[in-house]
């Protein structure tokens, strides 16, 4: 019969035999070590300093001092850490007084090297500031990493068109045309979005719609609640009820946030501007270190409303916002690798009514009709057209 007493007796016998075997094995190896090299065995018994722990050492967005460097390194040494890799980070931390690459930054870097030598710590340095990849002033803009950018223009066809297309925003003023493409405008998207909006207000007060529809990351608006007990919101009022299936919002870093923590923003709709209903949450994407920001997107079942608003329990900053008549490919900024970090499970694209998708066969390459100054001279076929340089 099985009892706890028999279990205890079996465990006692097992551990007795185990420790006897362990002592015999160690004794055997110790006898063997008298005749052979036992560096591996002794290395496990008494690990050498070279087997010690190393760590990352973050320099926090220019908040650096001589005293802080010495205290950090002395604390590492006391903890038994034998070395580190120095790593420059921002991660939402308020900017400090020391600029990367400045004379003061280099002086502090030399101080860290000397202190590491004094304490016997191994000093390794990351090859670039933060996550910006290898580079420096010798990497001129034309040799740097690049991404696709675009602007949007609406054209009424059926005649001769001469128009200067707006140049897309570019970092360091580096921009090169690849293609100029045109396709028939979707049924509910035949004019600039801002022409449909009659009024924009927020919890911070009135908003100039040009600041959030100009495709310029240098502009935008900060949205704060006037009452700390109430949410922050941005509200769009349309001249006529607008039918929407998708939204794109470009957020910008705002305030101090834990590293890579998303901002929670919801989209709501109303018929009277008073009673709102929640439509969806928007998963924010704010890539660190990119001046060209990428929108956060969401699709939802079709609805018509005269008022739409973005609402959050936290303050936020918006660079661009646009509602669409047609759904977009779900999570396209992530699928196209425009942003990284924590990736949510990909969503399926919402079913759309017939005629709401762009027919690839209808896309026209009009690159040859635009000159170096961005002037498009084109005999446009009948219909409404969207043009993208």
When comparing pLDDT for 259 and 383, which is higher? Answer: 383
Give the pLDDT confidence score for residue 344 in this predicted structure. 58
Mean pLDDT of 202-206: 93
Mean pLDDT of 347-368: 80
Report how far residue 150's alpha carbon sits from residue 172's, in angstroms, rounded to the nearest whole number: 16
Give the pLDDT confidence score for residue 357 in this predicted structure. 82
Q: How confident is the model at residue 291 (pLDDT cuts 50, 70, 90)?
A: very low
Mean pLDDT of 149-154: 91
- Count CB neighbours of 193 within 10 A: 19
Q: Which two tokens stand for residue 304?
A: 């018509």
Looking at 28-37, 164-173, 246-255, which range is the least confident one? Answer: 28-37
Give the pLDDT confidence score for residue 288 in this predicted structure. 47
Report how far residue 123's alpha carbon sits from residue 57's, in angstroms, rounded to the nearest whole number: 10
When comparing pLDDT for 216 and 237, which is higher? Answer: 237
Residues facing 297 on adjacent strands? 248
**What's the CA angle centered on 105, arms 104 and 107, to 5 degrees?**
65
Is the pLDDT reported for residue 248 higher than 50?
Answer: yes
- Pairing mode, strands 159-164 and 153-156: unpaired
* Alpha-carbon torsion (236, 238, 241, 246), positive or negative: negative
Report how far residue 31's alpha carbon sits from residue 319's, in angstroms, rounded to the nearest whole number: 74
- Count CB neighbours of 293 within 10 A: 21
Give the pLDDT confidence score for residue 28 in this predicted structure. 46
Q: 122 to each of 28, 129, 259, 325, 370, how far by Cα in Å?
A: 37, 20, 27, 59, 58
Give the pLDDT confidence score for residue 388 in this predicted structure. 94
pTM over 0.75: no
Q: How confident is the model at residue 138 (pLDDT cuts 50, 70, 90)?
A: confident
Query: What's the first-to-final CA gap in the chain, in angstroms?
Result: 84
Is the pLDDT reported for residue 29 higher than 80?
Answer: no
Give the pLDDT confidence score for residue 65 in this predicted structure. 96
Give the pLDDT confidence score for residue 37 in this predicted structure. 64
Is the pLDDT reported for residue 199 higher than 50?
Answer: yes
Place of tokens 């205890």: 8
Give the pLDDT confidence score for residue 45 in this predicted structure. 78
Kindly report the average pLDDT of the chain as a whole number.
84
Helix 66-78 with 103-119: angle, nearest 10 deg: 30
Q: Of 246, 244, 234, 243, which is closest to residue 208 (Cα–Cα)?
A: 234
- For residue range 87-100, list pLDDT tens digits in order: 888 766 788 999 98
Q: How confident is the model at residue 355 (pLDDT cuts 50, 70, 90)?
A: low
Backbone angles phi, psi at 102, to 5 degrees: -75, 170
SS3 track for the chain: CCCHHHHHHHHHHHHHHHHHHHHHHHHHHHHHHCCCCCHHHHHHHCCCHHHCEEEEEEEECCCCCHHHHHHHHHHHHHCCEEEEEEEEECCCCCCCCCCCCCHHHHHHHHHHHHHHHHHCCEEEECCCCCCCCCCCCCCCHHHCCCCCCCCCEEEECCEEEEEECCCCCCHHHCCCCCCCEEEECCCCCCCCHHHHEEEEEECCEECCHHHHCCCCCCCCEEECCCCCCCCEEEEEEEEEEEEEEEEEEEEECCCCCCCCCCCEEEEEEECCCCCEEEEEEEECCCCCCCCCCCCEEEEEEEEEEEEEEEEECCCEEEEEEEEECCCCCCCHHHHCCCCCCCCCCCCCCCCCCCCCCCCHHHCEECHHHECCCCEEEEEECCCEEEEEC
Is the pLDDT reported for residue 215 higher than 90?
Answer: no
When comparing pLDDT for 304 and 347, which is higher? Answer: 304
Is the pLDDT reported for residue 127 higher than 70?
Answer: yes
When comparing pLDDT for 359 and 135, which is higher? Answer: 359
Is the pLDDT reported for residue 26 higher than 80?
Answer: no
- With beta carbons less than 8 A apart as the criterion, state whether 241 and 306 touch: yes
Give the pLDDT confidence score for residue 3 in this predicted structure. 53
Mean pLDDT of 268-288: 85
SS3 track for 195-223: HHEEEEEECCEECCHHHHCCCCCCCCEEE
């Amino acid at each position: 019969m099985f009892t706890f007493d028999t279990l205890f007796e079996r465990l006692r016998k097992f551990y007795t035999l185990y420790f006897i075997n362990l002592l015999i094995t160690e004794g055997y190896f110790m006898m063997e070590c008298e005749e052979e090299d036992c560096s591996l065995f002794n290395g496990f018994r008494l690990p050498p300093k070279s087997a010690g722990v190393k760590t990352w050492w973050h320099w926090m967005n220019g908040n650096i001092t001589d005293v802080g460097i010495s205290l950090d390194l002395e604390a590492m040494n006391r903890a038994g850490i034998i070395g580190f890799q120095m790593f420059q980070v921002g991660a939402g931390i308020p900017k400090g007084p020391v600029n990367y690459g400045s004379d003061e930054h280099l002086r502090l870097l030399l101080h860290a090297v000397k202190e590491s030598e004094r304490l016997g710590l191994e000093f390794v340095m990351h090859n670039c500031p933060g996550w910006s990849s290898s580079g420096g002033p010798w990497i001129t803009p034309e040799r740097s990493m690049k991404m696709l950018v675009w602007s949007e223009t609406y054209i009424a066809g059926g005649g001769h068109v001469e128009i200067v297309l707006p140049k897309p925003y570019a970092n360091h003023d580096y921009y090169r045309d690849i293609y100029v493409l045109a396709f028939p405008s979707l049924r509910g998207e035949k004019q600039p979005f801002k022409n449909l909006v009659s009024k924009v207000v927020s919890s911070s007060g009135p908003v100039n719609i040009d600041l959030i529809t100009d495709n310029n990351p240098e502009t935008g608006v900060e949205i704060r609640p006037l009452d700390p007990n109430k949410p922050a919101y941005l509200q769009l009022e349309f001249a006529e009820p607008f039918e929407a299936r998708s939204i794109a919002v470009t957020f910008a870093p705002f305030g101090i946030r834990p590293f890579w923590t998303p901002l929670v923003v919801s989209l709501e709709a109303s018929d009277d501007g008073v009673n709102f209903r929640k439509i969806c949450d928007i998963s924010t994407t704010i890539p660190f270190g990119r001046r060209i920001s990428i929108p956060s997107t969401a699709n939802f079942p079709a609805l018509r409303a005269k008022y739409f608003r973005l609402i959050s329990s936290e303050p936020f900053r918006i660079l661009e916002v646009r509602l669409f008549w047609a759904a977009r490919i779900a999570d396209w900024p992530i699928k196209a690798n425009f942003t990284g970090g924590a990736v949510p499970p990909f969503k399926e694209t919402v079913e759309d009514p017939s005629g709401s998708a762009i027919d690839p066969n209808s896309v026209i390459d009009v690159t040859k009709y635009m000159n170096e100054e961005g002037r498009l001279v084109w005999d446009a076929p009948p219909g409404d057209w969207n043009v993208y340089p």
